[in-house]
Structure 1
Amino acid sequence: MTVFTDLTRVRNPISSANGLPNAHYIDPDIFTEERDAVLFDNWSGLAVTADVPEIGDAKPFTFLGMPLLLLRDKAGAVRVFQNICRHRGMILVAEPRKIEGAIRCPYHSWCYGTDGRLVSTPHVGGPGHNTHKGIDRDTLGLIEVRSHVWMNVVWINVSGTAAPFEEANADLIARWAEFDVPLHHGGADSAFRLDLACNWKLAVENYCESYHLPWVHPGLNSYSRLEDHYHIESAGHFSGQGTWVYRQLIDDAGNRFPDFKGLSDKWDTAAEYISAFPNVLLGVHRDHAFVIILTPDGPERTVENIHLFYADAQTDADLRARNTAQWKEVFREDIFVVEGMQRGRHASGFDGGRFSPAMDGPTHLFHDWVAAQLERRRAAE
C-alpha cells in the first residue's frame, strides 16, 4: 500500500518551496503512483513517426511495463494499440517488421487488420469452424491507445482521461506555430539512445534550466552564455529555456543546413528548449529541431531516445553526422549530473532541496506540476 508523501512545501511559492521528497525518486510504490497520475493520465511521448515510416510498418514498445504496438495502417495513419491478442493475451509482434497482410497471433492464429479489427478466428468453433456465436469479432478488436502526432512525436494518453491534445497543449502549439511545417527525420545517423541511472524526472529538471551551463557545458557556454538565456514558463503545461545566441553549424566549405521556411526574424539568432510535461524534451532552431523522449524504466533508470529533424529530406550526410555528434557530446555532459543527483536522493536527511528564485523557475514549475497531478489523483481516490 502506498504511503502518501507530504507535498505541501513542493506547492509553495519558489522562494519557500522544497523539491519533491526523496521517495519520488527511489520508492517503487511512489513510482507506480506517478506512473498512473503523471504519465498515464497525461499526454506522454512514446515514439516518433519515423519509427514506422511506411504503410504496414510495426514496432513494439514497452511503456512503463505495458506492451504497446506502434504501426502505420493501410490508410497511412500512425496508430498505437496494446500489443496483445484478445484471445489469451499473447504478445502479437515481438520485433519490428512489415505487416504485409494481417497481424497474426503466433499462438492460435487469430488475425487483426492494421486498423485493429479482428478479421479471422480459425477453428474457434471447433475444427474447421472459424466462427462461434459466443465470439463477436466486432467487439474483440485490438485495444487502441489514444494517440496524437505533433512535432513528429507520437503522444499517448493511456488512461483516456486527458483533455484533447490540442487543448491540453494549446499554449505550446501556439508558441511554436512557426515550426508547424514538415520535419524530416535525418535517418539512422540522426538518432541515438542514452541509458541513465536516474529517475526520469531528474532528466526533465536538468533540461529545462540554464543555470548549470557554465560548469556542465563549458563549450556551449563559451558562445551561448548563461546571460544570453531566458526562462520559458507556462504553469501547468511546460517550462524551459531559450537563448538569443544560436550559432549554426558550418562545415569547412561553408555549407550549412537549410532554414525552415517562413520563420520570423527572432529565429535568426534564437533557439528554444522546452520540457513538454511530462516526458518529452524539445529543441527548435532555424535549421533543425530535436526531440528527446524519456522512457522510465523503474524508479532509478531512464532511457533517452534522441531524434534530429531537418527542413530538407536531403541534407548533407557529413554535416548531419557532425550535428549528431555535437548534440551527443552535450547530452552526455549531463549524465554525471543527473546520476549524481539520483545517488543523492538516497541521503535520508535530504529535504528535496531548495530553488534559486532567480534561476530555478522552470524546474520549480515542473515540481509543482507533478505535485498537482498527484494531489488530483489522490483527491479522486
Structure 2
Amino acid sequence: MTNLPELVSRLQEQLTSQMPDCAEAVMHLPSAVYTSEDRFQRERKALFRQLPLFVGFSAELPEPNSFRTMTIDSVRILLTRDKAGTLRAFRNSCRHRGMAVTEKSEGCAKRFTCPFHGWTFGNDGSLIGIAQAQHFPGVDKKDYGLSPIAVAEKYGLMFLQIEGDGPIDIDAHLGGLEKDLSEPGFQNWRLGGRNEHRANVNWKLFMDGFCEGYHFNTIHPNTLGAVVVPNTHVVDIFGLHARELFANKGLQEFTARGGGRPISMGGDVALIYLICPNLILIALHSGGWHAISIWPDGAIDRTLVSQTILVSDRATAEEQMDYIARANYIWEEVIKAEDFAVSESIWSALKGGDLPDMVLGRNEYPVQHFHRQFNRLAGPA
C-alpha cells in the first residue's frame, strides 16, 4: 500500500495524544433504526437492491464454466463464467414455472437443466432447449432466457446490482478506494476458504461492531484486545465507504522505542475497508486478505454473516497457511464466540424496548458515518 507510511505516521501521533480520529459530535440514534419493519423494508430496496453489492472475489469463479449460487434479499442468484470467461449473473429461476435451475452451491457447468420440466439454459443465460417443444407453439427461445442481473468485475472483485440494467461503474462506486484496492492484484490470488453463520438479530448490529475498536479491551480482552491498541484508529471517508487503520501493540512498542525497523502489516497495523452497505475487507498481513459480508436473511431479525479468505500469489506457502489460520481463528474465537453474543444481547434490549436511542461517541466515527449513509439512502426511521 503506497500511502501506508503516511497513515502509520498519523497512528503514531494518536498513540502519543491518545486521541483517535473522531466525528464532530455525539450522535443519538433512534432504536427504531433497528426495530422498525417499515425502515427495514426501505433498507432492503435502497441498500440491497439498488446499490452495487460485493458478491465475491474473482478467484471464486476461477475458470470458464465456473458457477456459484447465492440468495440476496430473497432473490436467488446464479453467477457464471461463460465459455469465454466473461462474468454473468442471472436470477436462478427457470422462465417456464420458476424452479431454480440449479440447487448446487458451486461447480462447473456449460448448461443448466431445470429439474422440474427439463428446460435447459446455457451458462450465458440463453434458453437452448424446451422439453417437448411441440407443446409450446409460438414460444421463441430467445425471449425466455434466464433473467439477467447487472454484474461487473474489476481488481479481482465482483459486484452485482439486483435492480437496474447497469452497467455498474465499480470505480465510481468505490469513491476513491479503487486505487487502494487495485494494488494487491486480487485477480491473481486464490481462494483460501469460506465460513458462514446465521443469527437471530438485526443485520446492522454486526456492521456496527466491525466499525470501531472502542470495545476491544472489554469484549475481546484475550483475543483482539491482546493484540490491537483499543480506541486508536486512523479513519478516512471515501463517499459511502471508509478506510480504517488500527495500531497493533507492536506499533505501540516500536513508537515508544523511537523506530529502528520497517513497519509490518500484521505485526504493527491492521487495515480494514468498510464498503457500504455490508462489506468489511480486512488485511492482517501480506499473506492474504479476507472479506466479511453481512446480509439480512429474509427478515428484520435474521442475519447471515459470511467470510471469504483469499491468499496472495506472492506469499510463500507458509505465509498463506498462516493467514488462513489467523482468519479462521478470528472467525471462531472472536466473531462467533464473542461478537455474536454481544449482538444477541443488544437485540434483546432493542426488542424489549429497553432504550429509546443509542448514543454513539465521537470515537465511534465509522459507526456514525454508516448510519448517516443508511439514513440518507433509506430514509430515517
- What interval of TM-score do these two structures reach, taking the shorter chain for normalisation? 0.7 to 0.9
Instruction: Please say which of residues 342-351 and 75-84 is displaced more in the overlay.
Output: 342-351
1:87 aligns with 2:96: yes
1:43 aligns with 2:52: yes
Amino acid at match of 1:105: C
Q: Size of the alignment, in residue pairs?
A: 340
Conserved? CA contact 1:236–1:365, under 8 Å: no
Match of 1:354 in 2: 359
Q: How does 1:1-381 map to 2 (within 5 A)?
A: 15=25, 17-19=27-29, 21-96=30-105, 98-126=107-135, 132=137, 134-150=138-154, 152-160=156-164, 164-182=169-187, 184-187=189-192, 190-218=193-221, 219-226=223-230, 229-234=232-237, 236-245=239-248, 267=265, 269-284=268-283, 285-297=285-297, 298-312=299-313, 315-316=317-318, 319-320=322-323, 322-328=325-331, 329-332=333-336, 333-348=338-353, 350-357=355-362, 359-375=363-379
Instruction: Please say which of residues 305-314 and 295-304 is displaced more in the overlay.
Output: 305-314
Amino acid at match of 1:67: R
CA 1:320/1:266 → structure 2, altered by over 3 Å: closer, same or farther? closer
Offset at residue 236 of structure 1 (A): 3.7
In the alignment, the residues of structure 2 paired with residue 116 and residue 199 of structure 1 have an alpha-carbon distance, to the nearest angstrom, of 34
Conserved? CA contact 1:56–1:100, under 8 Å: yes
Question: Which secondary structure does the structure 1 equivalent of 2:176 belong to?
Answer: helix
Which aligned runs of 4 or more in structure 1 are off by greater than 6 angstroms? Answer: none
Conserved? CA contact 1:82–1:142, under 8 Å: yes
Offset at residue 341 of structure 1 (A): 1.7
Conserved? CA contact 1:46–1:63, under 8 Å: no
Amino acid at match of 2:372: D
TM-score normalized by the length of structure 1: 0.79
In the alignment, the residues of structure 2 paired with residue 338 and residue 63 of structure 1 have an alpha-carbon distance, to the nearest angstrom, of 21
Offset at residue 271 of structure 1 (A): 2.5
Offset at residue 295 of structure 1 (A): 2.1
Amino acid at match of 2:279: V
Question: Which secondary structure does the structure 1 equivalent of 2:376 belong to?
Answer: helix
Residue ranges of structure 2 left out of the alignment (5+ in a row): 1-22, 252-261
Match of 1:5 in 2: none
In the alignment, the residues of structure 1 paired with residue 66 and residue 250 of structure 2 have an alpha-carbon distance, to the nearest angstrom, of 37
Conserved? CA contact 1:70–1:78, under 8 Å: yes
Superposed CA deviations along residues 101-157 of structure 1, whole A, max 9, x for unmatched, are 42112223222111111222233333xxxx74x323223221111122356443221
Residue ranges of structure 1 left out of the alignment (5+ in a row): 1-12, 249-263
Conserved? CA contact 2:59–2:188, under 8 Å: no
Question: Which secondary structure does the structure 1 equivalent of 2:379 belong to?
Answer: helix
Question: Which secondary structure does the structure 2 equivalent of 1:345 belong to?
Answer: helix
Offset at residue 74 of structure 1 (A): 1.4
Conserved? CA contact 1:102–1:114, under 8 Å: yes
Conserved? CA contact 2:175–2:240, under 8 Å: no
Conserved? CA contact 1:63–1:295, under 8 Å: yes
Question: Which secondary structure does the structure 2 equivalent of 1:278 belong to?
Answer: coil
CA 1:210/1:97 → structure 2, altered by over 3 Å: closer, same or farther? closer
Offset at residue 97 of structure 1 (A): 5.3
In the alignment, the residues of structure 2 paired with residue 117 and residue 161 of structure 1 have an alpha-carbon distance, to the nearest angstrom, of 17
**Cα RMSD after superposing both structures:** 3.0
In the alignment, the residues of structure 1 paired with residue 127 and residue 368 of structure 2 have an alpha-carbon distance, to the nearest angstrom, of 47
Conserved? CA contact 1:277–1:366, under 8 Å: yes
In the alignment, the residues of structure 2 paired with residue 314 and residue 186 of structure 1 have an alpha-carbon distance, to the nearest angstrom, of 15
Offset at residue 83 of structure 1 (A): 0.3
Question: Which secondary structure does the structure 2 equivalent of 1:15 belong to?
Answer: coil
